[in-house]
Amino acid sequence: ISLVLHQFALGLCDGLFKSCEGAHAKYAQKLLTDLLTNYTSALRPVEDTNNILNVTLQVTLSQIIDMDERNQILTAYLWIRLVWFDAHLRWNKDEYDGLDTIRIPGSYVWRPDIVLYNSADNHFTGPMDTNVVIRHDGQMMWDSPAITKSSCKVDVSFFPFDGQQCRFTYGSWTYNGNQLDILNAMESADLADLVENVEWEVLGMPAKKNIVQYGCCADPYPDVTYTLQLKRRASFYVFNLLIPCVMISFLAPLGFYLPADSGEKVSLGVTVMLALTVFQLLVAEIMPPSENVPLIGKYYIATMTMITTSTALTIFIMNIHHCGPDAKPVPKWAKKVILHTWRNGIFLDCGESGDPVRSRKGGVSDVERKDDGISCNTHPNDGPLLHNIEYIANCYRDQRATQKRTGEWKKVAKVLDRFFMWMFFIMVFFMSLLIMGKAV
């Protein structure tokens, strides 16, 4: 018996629910007919034309789709809610079986022409044409999603460690402040449903109401501006553009360490220069053509300038190293500054070697001994022999002087190589430390 009673009760409730649903559908149809009778969507829905219609705007940021730095366009996915009161769409809910809300297509009713002032869309597409929720007291609520392309002034001075501020300015296109006033529902946009972006971190999106008086018109025009505060996630650019450049720049000072006879000193500098030029072109393709040079671009230019200087110094040092027999002796100031002061400062042992012509014990060669004894032990019959010996001694003397001059110039070149190598290593280290310190 209890089972039969339970099934009967369920059947009774289902019947009542269906009858209630049918009643609501009937009253909803009647309500729609009554509301739209003698209603026009072309006029502002106020009882007195002198009254100001207040429209409340609320924006929810759902996703940052793309940031085009070169064209300075931000593409974002937004949810836009507009709330206002329509004086001609009110009813007594008791007359319609307690029906307090109704949803109808937005094209049936008047809607405010709130647009994005700084839109950069080629097709001027607005929010989706969704339904409007109408309450019995005349409150209209229009929720619509929109993919917006807005112009955003991009400042790349600190790229890739930069932050951007992009503005979304919403206002009426035709109604002035004496006819339609726009209000912000919250102090900032809603970020609760935001989908995280892999490149940009959202710091906030505060809202501010502005009243602007344009030069064309004497009436004020209110608008609400949302400022999207972004910070770039620089990890991608650090590992793909910055660290390779730092590693390549450390190869430039090693060109001074290569032996001068290898013939690869200048080739290394030119190769490093070409590698940095490729990275510089990659950065130039991303950045907009503006007067502000990005931070990584400044680092590339400084590194390329340093490599150009090191290559020029390498050519100069190689010219010193390969000084021929006709070279002049090393100046005294160069011996004092380069061969003594700089060499001791960089702890370089140039490999002082003994004179190949002089003997290790006596310090004077046999040829010099014979040459010195010509005037003491002369004999009339030894004239041609002494002349030959004197010629040989003079040749050895010239050869020894030439070897000494070329050896000193090679020592100067070696000291200059080591000195500039350590100097450029220090420069590269501090430059890399400054640019990498921005990533921390």
The whole-number pLDDT of residue 333 equals 67
Q: In the beta sheet, which residues pair with residue 208?
A: 225
The whole-number pLDDT of residue 249 equals 87
The whole-number pLDDT of residue 224 equals 96
The whole-number pLDDT of residue 159 equals 87
More confident residue, 428 or 59: 59
Distances (CA, A) of 15 to 2, 19, 21, 23, 287: 20, 6, 10, 12, 68
Looking at mean pLDDT, say which of 131-145, 146-160, 264-278, 378-392 comes out highest.
131-145
Are the C-beta atoms of 199 and 72 separated by less than 8 Å? no
Domain ranges of the chain: 28-232, 237-342+394-439
More confident residue, 393 or 302: 302
More confident residue, 216 or 226: 226
Average pLDDT of the residues in 194-223:
90
Tens of pLDDT, residue by residue over 1-19, are 444 434 444 443 344 334 4
pLDDT at 312 over 70: yes
pLDDT at 207 over 90: yes
The whole-number pLDDT of residue 387 equals 67
Average pLDDT of the residues in 397-414:
70
Average pLDDT of the residues in 92-116:
91
pLDDT at 360 over 80: no
**Is the sign of the CA dihedral 366, 367, 373, 374 positive or negative?**
positive
The whole-number pLDDT of residue 148 equals 92
**Residue 32: partners with Cβ closer than 8 Å, 6 or more residues away:** 102, 104
The whole-number pLDDT of residue 279 equals 86
Please, which pLDDT band fits residue 123 given cuts at 50, 70 and 90?
Answer: confident
The whole-number pLDDT of residue 384 equals 73
**Mean of all residue pLDDT scores within the chain:** 80
Average pLDDT of the residues in 314-341:
70
Nearest CA to 52 among 120, 136, 112? 112
Nearest CA to 99 among 20, 201, 172? 20
Are the C-beta atoms of 318 and 413 separated by less than 8 Å? yes
CA–CA separation, 198 vs 297, rounded Å? Answer: 23
Tens of pLDDT, residue by residue over 174-189, are 999 999 999 999 999 9
Pick 28-232's CATH classification: 3.30.70.20, 2.60.120.260, 2.70.170.10, 1.10.3720.10.
2.70.170.10
H helices present in 322-348, as ranges: 332-336, 343-345
The whole-number pLDDT of residue 403 equals 65
Q: Does the domain spanning 237-342+394-439 belong to CATH 1.20.58?
A: yes
CA–CA separation, 2 vs 192, rounded Å? Answer: 50
Average pLDDT of the residues in 261-265:
76
The whole-number pLDDT of residue 381 equals 55
Looking at mean pLDDT, say which of 69-83, 232-246, 277-291, 376-390 comes out highest.
69-83
pLDDT at 379 over 80: no
CA–CA separation, 348 vs 360, rounded Å? Answer: 25
Q: In the beta sheet, which residues pair with residue 229?
A: 165, 204
**Residue 225: partners with Cβ closer than 8 Å, 6 or more residues away:** 167, 168, 169, 170, 207, 208, 209, 210
